[in-house]
Amino acid sequence: MKSAVPPYLFRRGGGALIVSLPHVSTYVPPTIANRHTEAAAQRPDTDWHLPRLYDFLAELDATVITATHSRYVVDLNRPPDDVSLYPGRVTTGLCPLETFHGAPVYLENCAPDSAEIAQRVERYWKPYHQRLAAELARIRAQHGVAMLWDAHSIVSEAPRLFEGRLPDFNLGTADGKSCDASLATDLEAILHKHHGFTSVHNGRFKGGYITRHYGQPANGIHAVQMEMACSTYMQETLPYSFDNVGASRVRHVLRELFDRLIEFTKKDKTQ
């Protein structure tokens, strides 16, 4: 039976910027949710409140694609063959079996088998990526250049995934492969000048599947991932409250970063 919930939400803008929000939803279909543990039912690994934090995107005339299902259904930022993005390091997979902190997602003997995983890829993963790919092609054809921003957030401390405390802003450009080098340098410089925040470029998070797969600067498609520490704009533990004061400070930085992205797309068209 077809789900009443579409695989994504979409708003088309007129500019060269497209923003992907693949981990913001908490929705899990009942047939999956009733097999989840209590830990998974809290949806701790959600990229909480990002649509609210990025509420200025319409002003920028950006195209936005937003996931409608939790990453516990299928992770849209993982390759469909589930090959690890960080070989040798602990990470979560295409259909996560454990939370970031190592708690089981499924009750005993309730994890999805290969057939169910393939079904989820067909039902949820592929439609999101087909739309994203189509919009990037449209934007590239219309503007001569496309700029993809893949938006994420994560708890500032997850010992299973990384040591110590995560920087506030984690810029990922796939080790320089996913976007123009001068643009990446400018974005990094903007982050560094905001001394109230910590930042890193291509640190623990270099960009997931979306950034790595779609970023093709030689073909006019530039992709950047931003992984932010949740602590900058919200309460990291239940009830995951939004922090208006913190969010205002974060938006100031984000707007400056986006101004540079837009400036770059306009300059790139004239070259």
2 pLDDT higher than 70: no
Question: φ, ψ for residue 70 (rounded to 5)?
Answer: -60, 155
271 pLDDT higher than 90: no
- In this structure, the number of other CB atoms found within 10 A of the CB of residue 141 comes to 10
The beta strands (E) that lie in 137-191 are given as 146-154, 169-172
The pLDDT, as a whole number, for residue 267 is: 79
The pLDDT, as a whole number, for residue 171 is: 98
Q: What is the DSSP string of 190-234?
A: HHHH-TTS-EEESSS----HHHHHH-BGGGTEEEEEEEEEGGGTB
pLDDT for 76-124, tens place per residue? 999 999 999 999 888 999 999 999 999 999 999 999 999 999 999 999 9
The pLDDT, as a whole number, for residue 249 is: 98
How large is the average pLDDT for residues 220-241?
Answer: 97
138 pLDDT higher than 50: yes
Question: What is the band of 143 on the pLDDT scale with cuts at 50, 70, 90?
Answer: very high
Mean pLDDT rounded to a whole number for the chain: 96
Cα 91 off chain centre by: 15
Gyration radius from the chain CA atoms: 18
198 pLDDT higher than 60: yes
212/77 Cα distance (integer angstroms): 10
Residues above pLDDT 90, as percent of the chain: 94
How large is the average pLDDT for residues 127-156?
Answer: 98
> Residue 164 gets which letter from DSSP?
S
By the 8 A CB rule, do 22 and 67 touch?
yes
270 pLDDT higher than 50: no
16 pLDDT higher than 90: yes
What residues contact residue 110 under an 8 Å CB cut-off, 6+ apart? Answer: 35
How large is the average pLDDT for residues 182-190?
Answer: 98
